[in-house]
């Protein structure tokens, strides 16, 4: 059965937000639980294994950054083309997205395999600690092509307002990951105990299944019906770069920001690195609804920008900011009350629990700042004004952390000061992007 296109230029905005954000949030919840499962099994192996997984997190996120950032350009361009009712051009965008995906896959695998050992060594990993980290990230890098297919097929579905297929994959993948992690980490049925490498192998196996499932779902949409002959258009590739590089650079800078944080906290010991890795996973769970909102904003704004329905864009931003504030209040409660308990689910190391709980308290204060940043990043992408993202990311993820964390290190300040420094940086970014996006919104007419 064909998947029908959702016309987001008509109908109730709140209903569209709900129909896209809810399945997206559910899907991303299970995606995060996928990562939580990996963290849990790493903790079952040892604190060193947990720290090794944390060391590779920023490198893994770089893969997600390139795949996710460039796939967002596919959603933005497709959404605008569909809003303009130019389906023939939209189908050429689909063709060209395949070319872009192939190039990215080759690039990620080759560059990643070369640079990963260098980055991990810079964080102080040696001997068994280094080998444990490499046994995870190398397998992930070999499977990069499947991550790309998943992201790009989902980008096509998102442009059509369909968030349910990806949700279904993430839900199924999360449950499959529990079984595969247990099997590959512990061994059995002819498979030896693979340790941290087994966690990576389980991830790649599930991505292979997901790539097939999402690609077949995308093929059933109207965009793949009655396809015109392929005509290479260099302008489409340029538009991918123009629209995709700012969010990609922003996400890469996020990955670099995580690396910088890990670099500065590594001298505190493996307990600090492990605490950061676990606490970030917990923080991601609390932020999940805002990620669903982010997907909804990009899809709705893109189509309405193409249709020049600018009042609907402004209404979308107003409604999602209200929803985000409610989610913030709920998130504060859970992180302040249950932060230590959440940490104890992954490790019994009291140092790791205490350090992670301190991070979560700082994170609770900055949750709404994240929401505001996410919403307005999607807005700028949807109206084809993403250039600011590079400069904002550079400031928030590199310049400010290196400056302040360098000062913290010189003054030999406590680990908790670093956590609150992160929160302050996020709020500063939120105020700046609010000011900038408001100027862009006022110019829409």
Q: Walk along the chain (445 residues) in steps of 10 and give the mean pLDDT of each run.
A: 58 86 80 81 81 77 80 85 86 91 90 88 81 89 92 89 85 92 87 87 94 94 87 90 79 80 88 88 82 84 85 89 90 92 88 93 92 88 77 84 92 93 91 87 75
Quote the pLDDT of residue 22: 84
Q: Are 43 and 346 in contact (CB under 8 A)?
A: yes
Cα 300 from chain centroid (whole Å): 19
pTM above 0.75, yes or no: no
CA distances from 348 to 119, 344, 354 (A): 29, 6, 11
Q: 188 forms bridges with which residues in the sheet?
A: 191
Q: Which candidate, 359, 377, 371, places its Cα nearest to that of 288? A: 371
Q: Give the pLDDT confidence score for residue 378 in this predicted structure.
A: 86
290 — phi, psi (to 5°)? -70, -30
CB atoms within 10 A of CB 87: 15
Extract long-range pairs of 345-352: CB within 8 Å, 24+ residues apart: 345/40, 346/36, 346/39, 346/40, 346/43, 346/50, 346/278, 346/281, 347/43, 347/47, 347/50, 347/274, 347/278, 349/47, 349/271, 349/274, 351/271, 351/275, 352/47, 352/50, 352/271, 352/274, 352/275, 352/278
CA geometry: angle 90, 91, 94, nearest 5 deg: 95
pLDDT at 445 (0 to 100): 65
Q: Which of 375, 364, 398 is nearest to 279 (CA)?
A: 364
Q: Which two tokens stand for residue 93?
A: 């965008």
- In total, the chain counts a number of residues equal to 445
What's the CA gap between 214 and 436, in Å, rounded?
36
The tokens for 403 are 């400056």
Q: Which helix (H) or strand (E) holds 383?
A: none
What's the pLDDT at 2?
A: 40
Question: Closest Cα partner for 81 from 185, 18, 159?
Answer: 159
């Amino acid at each position: 059965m064909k998947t029908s296109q959702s016309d987001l230029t008509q109908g109730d905005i709140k209903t569209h937000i709900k129909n896209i954000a809810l399945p997206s949030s559910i899907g991303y919840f299970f995606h995060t639980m996928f990562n939580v499962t990996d963290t849990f099994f790493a903790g079952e192996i040892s604190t060193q294994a947990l720290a090794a997984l944390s060391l590779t997190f920023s490198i893994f996120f770089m893969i997600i950054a390139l795949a996710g950032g460039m796939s967002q350009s596919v959603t933005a361009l497709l959404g605008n083309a569909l809003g303009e009712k130019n389906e023939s051009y939209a189908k050429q965008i689909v063709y060209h997205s395949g070319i872009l995906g192939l190039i990215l896959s080759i690039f990620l695998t080759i560059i990643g395999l070369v640079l990963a050992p260098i980055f991990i060594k810079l964080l102080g990993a040696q001997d068994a600690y280094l080998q444990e980290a490499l046994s995870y990230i190398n397998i992930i890098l070999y499977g990069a092509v499947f991550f790309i297919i998943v992201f790009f097929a989902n980008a096509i579905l998102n442009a059509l307002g369909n968030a349910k297929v990806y949700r279904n994959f993430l839900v199924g993948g999360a449950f499959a990951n529990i079984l595969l992690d247990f099997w590959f980490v512990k061994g059995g049925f002819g498979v030896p105990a693979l340790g941290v490498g087994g966690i990576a192998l389980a991830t790649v196996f599930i991505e292979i299944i997901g790539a097939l499932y999402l690609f077949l779902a995308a093929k059933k949409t109207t965009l793949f019906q009655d396809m015109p002959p392929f005509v290479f258009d260099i302008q489409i590739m340029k538009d991918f770069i123009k629209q995709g590089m700012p969010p990609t650079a922003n996400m890469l800078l996020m990955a670099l920001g995580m690396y910088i944080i890990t670099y500065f906290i590594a001298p505190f010991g493996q307990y600090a690195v492990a605490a950061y890795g676990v606490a970030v996973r917990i923080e991601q769970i609390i932020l999940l609804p805002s990620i669903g909102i982010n997907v909804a904003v990009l899809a709705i704004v893109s189509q309405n920008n193409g249709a020049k329905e600018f009042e609907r864009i402004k209404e979308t931003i107003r409604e999602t900011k209200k929803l985000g504030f409610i989610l913030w209040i709920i998130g504060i409660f859970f992180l302040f009350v249950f932060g230590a308990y959440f940490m104890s689910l992954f490790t019994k190391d009291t140092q790791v629990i205490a350090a992670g709980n301190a991070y979560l308290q700082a994170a609770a204060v900055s949750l709404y700042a994240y929401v505001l940043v996410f919403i307005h990043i999607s807005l700028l992408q949807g109206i084809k004004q993403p250039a600011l993202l590079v400069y904002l990311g550079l400031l928030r993820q590199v310049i400010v952390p290196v400056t302040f964390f360098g000062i913290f290190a010189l003054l030999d300040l406590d680990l908790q000061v670093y956590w609150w420094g992160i929160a302050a940086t996020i709020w500063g970014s939120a105020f700046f992007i609010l000011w900038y996006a408001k100027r862009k919104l006022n110019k829409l007419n």
